[in-house]
């Protein structure tokens, strides 16, 4: 059943209010920038999407004339309706300055003003622009894309366009939505709920998707729901991560399992060292225990035991992600 006009107006007001708060946060970071160890290099606009700001990160240790850096193209989340590259700044600071990766955090236009496939096309166009940017001190043979939540979806859909699956060697999809159209009620049936509170997506997931998807849209379009993507249309290396207490975990795992089923080797090697997950050929799956959707970005606002746990889990996760990037994507082989 279609939501009422009042409900749709209420949603629109909510999204614009959140967007305004995020924009204020981005402005505050420009007025009072963080220390150099947490600071981006510069902001850039590409001519293919001149109204969409991108954040460029270059390691503080990099010296002009040094060997080219590996490149990671980041796509933020926000249910396709909200968000900005600034919300990934804390994560990008870790991957850039601690692990020595050049990062370009791209943007895309948001629903409900711009519905599917605008975000996918924006992301694909900007990925292509980044790959063709002569000013970045990077090795274009060592390129991966990552994304969070809705950005995780876009990392798996935009890379299907414009031959990007051949130019991008790997994708890291953090707690992605992989099947648009699966209702919150369906997702909650197979989810492990967070202790003592509701899943953060339970009351908003359906509204996000209603705003993003045009009426009459085919829901199994692989550019909308990457669960239905053919393996050959995706980059060669894939690392999908889900959170234990996240209603999106099941569908993320399902996509990883489906991709593993078409690998030449069917043998799954457990990740070990207390981690839950496996590697099967070119596909890696990991379930992050004890955390919720967006834990790495929400931890700042938590208190008590969750704050400490989420901070430690964030550091551990990015250590594992960077190791995977350097071994699977940025290696010479």
192-229: per-residue pLDDT in tens? 999 889 999 998 898 899 899 999 999 999 999 999 99
Nearest to 94 by CA among 326, 324, 331, 316: 316
Q: What percent of the chain has pLDDT over 70?
A: 96
Residue 2's pLDDT band (cuts 50, 70, 90): low
Q: What is the dihedral of CA 285, 106, 166, 96, to 10 degrees?
A: -60
- Span 221-243, pLDDT tens digits: 999 999 999 999 999 999 999 99
Neighbours of 14 (CB within 10 A): 14
Extents of the domains making up the chain: 5-329
Q: Where do we find the tokens 């051949």?
A: 166
Residue 333: is its pLDDT beyond 60? no
User: What is the rounded distance in angstroms from the CA atom of residue 92 to the CA atom of residue 86?
Assistant: 10
- What percent of the chain is predicted at pLDDT more than 90? 78
CA–CA distance, 318 with 174 (Å, rounded to integer): 11
Instruction: For residue 95, give the nearest of 285, 322, 300 by alpha carbon.
Output: 322
pLDDT digits (tens, 9 = 90+) for 93-119: 999 999 999 999 999 999 999 999 999
pLDDT at 119: 98
| 148-189 tens-digit pLDDT | 999 999 999 999 999 999 999 999 999 999 999 999 999 999
Residue in 167, 181, 123 with CA at minimum distance from that of residue 148: 123
Whole-angstrom distance, CA of residue 159 vs CA of residue 225: 13
Q: What's CA 246's distance to the chain center, in Å?
A: 15
pLDDT in tens, 265-295: 878 999 999 999 999 999 999 999 999 999 9
How big is the CA angle at 288 (ends 285 and 298), to the nearest 5 degrees? 125
Peptide bond into 112 cis (omega under 30): yes
Residue 296 pLDDT level (bands cut at 50, 70, 90):
very high
Give the chain as a 3 state SS string: CCCCHHHHHHHHHHHHHHHHHHHHHHHHHHHCCCCHHHCCCEEEECCCCCCCEEEEECCCCCCCCCCCEEEEEEECCCCCCCCCHHHHHHHHHHHHHHCCCEEEEECCCCCCCCCCCHHHHHHHHHHHHHHCCCCCCEEEEEEEEEEECHHHHHHHHHHHCCCHHHHCCEEEEECCCCCCCCCHHHHHHCCCCCCCCCCCCCCCHHHHHHHHCCCCCCCCCCCCCHHHCCHHHCCCEEEEEEEEECCCHHHHHHHHHHHHHCCCCCCCEEEECCEEEEEECCEEEEEEEEEECCHHHHHHHCCHHHHHHHHHHHHHHHHHHHHHHHHHHCCCC
What's the pLDDT band for 330 if we cut at 50, 70, 90?
very high
Q: Which two tokens stand for residue 146?
A: 């990552």
Mean pLDDT confidence for 121-146: 97
What CATH architecture does domain 5-329 belong to? 3-Layer(aba) Sandwich (3.40)
255 vs 241: CA distance, rounded Å? 11
Nearest to 136 by CA among 44, 33, 38: 44
| For range 307-331, the mean pLDDT | 94
Q: Does residue 299 or residue 160 have the better pLDDT?
A: 160
The confidence score (pLDDT) of residue 332 equals: 66
230-255 burial, b at 16+ Cβ within 10 Å, e below that, comes to ebebbbebbbbbbbbbbbbbbbbbbb
Q: What pTM was estimated for this model as a whole? A: 0.94
Contact indicator for 290, 313 with CB cutoff of 8 Å:
yes
């Amino acid at each position: 059943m279609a939501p009422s006009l009042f409900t749709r107006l209420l949603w629109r007001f909510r999204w614009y209010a959140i967007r305004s708060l995020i924009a204020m946060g981005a402005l505050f970071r420009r007025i009072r920038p963080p220390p150099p160890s947490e600071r981006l290099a510069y902001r850039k606009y590409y001519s293919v999407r001149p109204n969409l700001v991108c954040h460029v990160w270059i390691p503080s240790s990099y010296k002009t004339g040094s060997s080219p850096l590996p490149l990671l193209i980041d796509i933020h989340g926000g249910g396709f309706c909200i968000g900005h590259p600034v919300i990934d700044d804390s994560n990008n600071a870790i991957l850039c300055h601690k692990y020595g990766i050049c990062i370009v955090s791209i943007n895309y236009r948001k629903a409900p003003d711009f519905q599917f496939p605008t975000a996918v096309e924006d992301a694909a166009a900007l990925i292509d622009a980044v790959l063709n940017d002569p000013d970045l001190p990077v090795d274009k043979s060592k390129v991966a894309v990552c994304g969070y939540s809705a950005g995780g979806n876009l990392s798996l859909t935009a890379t299907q366009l414009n031959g990007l699956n051949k130019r991008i060697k790997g994708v890291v999809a953090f707690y992605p939505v992989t099947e648009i159209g699966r209702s919150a009620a369906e997702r909650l049936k197979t989810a492990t709920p967070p202790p003592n509170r509701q899943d953060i997506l339970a009351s908003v997931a359906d509204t996000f998707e209603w705003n993003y998807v045009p009426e009459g849209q085919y829901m199994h379009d692989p550019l909308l729901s990457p669960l239905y993507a053919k393996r050959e249309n995706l980059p060669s290396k894939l690392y999908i991560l889900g959170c234990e207490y996240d209603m999106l975990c099941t569908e993320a795992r399902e996509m990883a399992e489906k991709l593993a089923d078409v690998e030449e080797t069917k043998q799954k090697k457990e990740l070990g060292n207390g981690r839950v997950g496996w590697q099967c050929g070119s596909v890696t799956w990991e379930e992050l225990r004890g955390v919720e959707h967006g834990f790495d970005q929400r931890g700042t606002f938590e208190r008590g035991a969750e704050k400490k746990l989420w901070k430690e889990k964030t550091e551990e996760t990015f250590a594992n992600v960077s190791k995977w990037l350097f071994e699977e994507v940025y290696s010479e082989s």
